[in-house]
Structure formats: structure tokens, C-alpha cells
């Protein structure tokens, strides 16, 4: 057995079994452990270790020194500490909505956590056109609790600043600064634009100076607004789901940033699912039914967030000036404005930039894919340019419907 206590190395499946035997007393002494590497994300290695006698299982997630998607991205394995610590904090702030962390290991840069194999990855489930009627209720609670309860409105300010320091995450932030805020807005060699969509991108994104100016403002908002401890990459591939349960995982991009970043990512990725359904469900009645479900979910996420934010603010606010008449509405208005802008960035960057989403790339008919991409780009651009007017769920739905009609 290798020594896991001296210096870091990237584990194999066999190592992950040995590691489990050596470090955890979660399993019986006579457990028959088996392991499979199941990671399909862009960055890390994910080992599922199962006792074949009892079916009991855990997940070991290990951060490597470079990203899996490309060794161009050299990343500090400290992201595994950030991920473990934020999950432990969110476990308290939003009980039931994140996996339990059993152990964090700063030498092997790995954490051992609850296995959620009885759930499915939300992106895959939405592409299979499954419905989750409790999702909006669940995710709005998660978002309000994790975003508002980590802000200066609620936390004692020195305690909040200590958290800001502990969650400084420069390398992962740089990825978002580049891939979300810079590269999609010019003809960057790292972009990956579907050929039929390229001319549209050139004309409506790269050549629109008014849009570019807004993206510059928003990049600085992302880099400088240390408002809340955010997940930082809350797309539907970072959510495990089943009928009665929603679990948010993979928060390695976490840092103190604009609260709207997380909400905007959820909204944009529901819109990708909407675009997928619109161009892949052939039966008209089924398509309409599924689009209604997704449209209502998008609307409910915003409206429930607004409602719960007000209730949670009234219960937990500690900062005295935040109690002045009108400040709560001003603050919430800014969060929803930022939500629209971030949703816009996510919609554009997943079409133009390096990292795509399966909802769109799995549309096999090229013409349908181009149409879906143009609609997403149009929605994204409108969200950014019109963000000051976005307040309710209905405002988000209006933008989606107008883009479809164009």
C-alpha cells in the first residue's frame, strides 16, 4: 500500500480502495471494497468506493494539479479545501441541500463525501425531459440561505471578512473571468463556435460596442463585489436530483462574489434545458407540456427567491443601516438585476466559449441547433442590456418568449 501521509500523488482506483481502508471507519473490517473512477467534469477525479457485501458507498473526490479538460489550466489543489469547507458551511446554512463531507485531506487534496448515486445529474435528467416539481422550492431556499446568511447584512463584519480571506480562490476565479467574461466577447482562439452560428455571433455579439461595454462593467462587478459566499459554478451539472430531493455539489469555484452569480447560473441552465426540449421533443402536446413546466420553474425560482429573501432578511438582518426604509428593496433589486446579467453571460459563453453544455450540443439536427443557439444568444444579450428592468419571474419569461418569436 502506498503512503498517503507524506506527499500528494494522483490516485488510481486501487489507491482509492487502499485509502478508504486506511482512513475511514465507515465500513466494516471485512468489507469487500470495489472502486470505479466516475468523474465526467472538467477538472477533478471522482472515485466511487462500494462495499459489495452491503452496498454501502462513499465518494472520494481528488483535485489534480491540472484540469482534465486541458492541461493549459494549472490549478491549485487548494480548491479541494475550498470545496470541503464551503460544503461543511452550507450543510449548516441549508440543511438537506448539499452532500455530507466525512473527511478532508490536505495532503492528498481529496475529500470523502456522501454518495448520492440514488439521485441523477440534473442536466441529464432534464435532457431526458424529466420533471422535478419541488426543484424551484428547494433551490430558492438553498440560494436565499447560502447567499443572504453569508453577507454583511447578517454576519458580523469581521467574521465575514475572515470568510472572504479563507475563500480567496484566484485561479478558479481567473477561469471564470476569462471563460465567462472576456473570451466569448471577441474572436478568441479558445472559443468553439458552431459553424452555422458564427456569423450571428460576429454580427450580434462581437460587433456590438454597447454590449461589450456592459460586459466590461459586469466583469468588474464579478471581480470586486464581495457580497456573498457563492457556489461559483451552479449549473445543472452541479446538482444531483430526485423527485423529493435536490443536492448542490461541486462548489470548487466558491469565493465571495455577487449573489446574483449563482441564481443567474441556475436560470441560464434551465433555459438551456428549455432550448433542448423546444428542439428535440417532436410531439407537440408533450413539447408544450414540458416547456410549460420549465417556464413555470424559471418563473418560480425568481419569485420564490424574492419572497424568501424578504422573509429571511426580516428575520436575520443584524446590520443597523440595512434596516433603513427602502434599503432591503434596493438590495434585492440589485441581486435580481445581477441575476439577469449573469444568466446572460452564461447563455452566451456556453454557446461561444470553450466549455459547452450537452443540452445544446446534443441537438443532433444542425439547423435546429443553430436556431436554439441563436435564441439563447438573443435571450442572453437582452438579459445583459435590459438588466435594470428585470425584477420578477414574469420579466424573465417575457424575454424568453420574445426571443422565440424573433
The verdict on 384 binding ligand SR1 (CB under 6 A) reads no
Taking the least distance from each CB to ligand SR1, the nearer of 181 and 194 is 181
Phi, psi for 144 (deg, rounded to 5)? -65, -45
Q: Is 368:389 a contact under the CB 8 Å cutoff?
A: no
Q: Which is nearer to Mg ion, 127 or 201 (CB)?
A: 127
Which residues from 350-369 bind ligand SR1, rule CB under 6 A?
355
For residues 345, 350, 353 and 358, what is the CA-based torsion angle, rounded to 10 degrees?
A: 170
Q: What's CA 385's distance to the chain center, in Å?
A: 22
Would you say 263 and 342 are in contact if contact means Cβ atoms under 8 Å apart?
Answer: yes
69 part of the interface to ligand SR1, by CB under 6 A: yes
For ligand SR1, the binding residue among 4, 19, 73, 142 (CB under 6 A) is 73
Q: Which does 179 bind (CB under 5 to 8 A by kind): ligand SR1, Mg ion, none?
A: ligand SR1
Residues that bind Mg ion in the complex, under the rule CB under 5 A: 41, 250
Q: What DSSP assignment string belongs to 379-401?
A: HHHHHHHTGGG--SHHHHHHHHH
Nearer to ligand SR1, 67 or 149 (CB): 67
Out of 31, 175, 275, 363, point to the residue binding ligand SR1 (CB under 6 A). Answer: 175
| 87 CB-near residues (< 8 Å, 6+ apart) | 98, 99, 101, 111, 113, 249, 251
Residue 355 partner contact from Mg ion, ligand SR1, none using kind-dependent CB cut-offs of 5 to 8 Å = ligand SR1
Residue with cell 461541486: 250
Q: Are strands 57-62 and 255-257 parallel, antiparallel or unpaired?
A: unpaired
Q: Which positions from 208 to 247 touch ligand SR1 by CB under 6 A, shown as an x/- string? A: -------------------------x--------------
Contact 59, 26 (CB under 8 A): no
- Does residue number 108 form part of the binding site for ligand SR1 (CB under 6 A)? no
- The residue whose Cβ lies closest to Mg ion is 250
Shortest Å, Cβ 330 to ligand SR1: 30
- CB closer to ligand SR1, 147 vs 179: 179
> Going by C-beta distance under 8 Å and a sequence separation of 6 or more, which residues neighbour residue 25?
none
Number of residues that bind ligand SR1 (CB under 6 A): 10
Chain contacts with ligand SR1 (rule: CB under 6 A) = 42-43, 67, 69, 73, 175-176, 179, 233, 355
Amino acid at each position: 500500500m502506498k503512503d498517503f501521509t507524506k506527499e500528494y500523488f494522483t490516485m488510481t482506483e486501487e489507491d482509492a480502495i487502499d485509502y478508504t481502508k486506511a482512513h475511514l471507519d465507515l465500513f466494516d473490517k471485512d468489507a469487500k471494497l470495489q472502486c470505479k473512477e466516475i468523474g465526467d467534469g472538467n477538472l477533478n477525479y471522482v472515485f466511487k468506493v462500494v462495499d459489495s457485501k452491503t452496498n454501502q458507498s462513499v465518494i472520494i473526490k481528488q483535485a489534480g494539479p491540472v484540469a482534465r479538460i486541458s492541461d493549459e489550466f494549472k490549478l491549485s489543489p487548494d480548491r479541494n479545501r475550498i470545496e470541503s469547507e464551503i460544503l461543511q458551511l452550507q450543510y449548516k446554512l441549508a440543511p438537506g441541500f448539499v452532500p455530507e463531507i466525512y473527511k478532508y485531506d490536505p495532503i492528498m487534496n481529496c475529500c470523502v463525501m456522501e454518495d448520492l448515486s440514488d439521485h441523477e445529474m440534473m442536466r441529464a435528467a432534464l435532457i431526458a425531459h424529466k420533471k422535478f416539481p419541488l426543484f424551484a422550492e428547494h433551490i430558492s431556499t438553498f440560494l436565499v440561505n447560502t447567499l443572504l446568511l453569508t453577507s454583511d447584512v447578517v454576519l458580523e463584519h469581521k467574521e465575514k471578512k475572515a470568510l472572504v480571506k479563507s475563500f480567496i480562490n484566484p485561479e478558479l476565479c481567473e477561469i471564470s473571468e476569462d471563460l465567462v467574461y472576456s473570451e466569448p466577447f471577441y474572436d478568441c482562439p479558445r472559443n468553439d463556435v458552431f459553424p452555422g452560428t458564427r456569423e450571428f455571433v460576429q454580427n450580434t455579439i462581437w460587433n456590438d460596442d454597447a454590449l461589450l461595454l456592459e460586459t466590461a462593467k459586469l466583469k468588474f462587478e464579478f471581480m470586486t463585489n464581495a457580497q456573498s459566499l457563492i457556489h461559483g459554478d451552479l449549473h445543472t451539472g452541479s446538482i444531483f436530483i430526485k423527485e423529493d430531493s435536490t443536492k448542490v455539489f461541486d462548489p470548487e469555484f466558491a469565493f465571495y462574489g455577487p449573489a446574483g452569480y449563482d441564481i443567474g447560473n441556475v436560470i441560464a441552465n434551465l433555459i438551456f434545458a428549455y432550448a433542448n426540449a423546444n428542439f428535440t421533443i417532436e410531439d407537440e402536446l408533450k413539447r408544450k407540456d414540458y416547456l410549460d413546466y420549465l417556464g413555470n420553474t424559471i418563473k418560480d425560482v425568481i419569485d420564490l427567491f424574492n419572497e424568501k429573501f424578504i422573509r429571511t432578511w426580516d428575520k436575520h438582518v443584524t446590520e443597523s443601516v440595512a434596516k433603513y426604509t427602502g434599503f432591503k428593496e434596493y438590495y434585492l433589486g440589485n441581486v435580481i438585476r445581477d441575476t439577469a446579467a449573469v444568466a446572460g453571460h452564461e447563455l452566451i459563453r456556453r454557446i461561444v466559449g470553450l466549455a459547452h453544455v450537452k443540452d445544446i450540443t446534443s441537438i443532433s439536427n444542425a439547423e435546429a441547433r443553430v436556431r436554439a443557439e441563436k435564441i439563447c444568444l438573443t435571450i442572453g444579450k437582452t438579459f445583459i442590456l435590459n438588466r435594470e428592468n428585470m425584477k420578477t419571474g414574469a420579466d424573465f419569461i417575457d424575454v424568453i418568449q420574445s426571443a422565440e418569436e424573433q
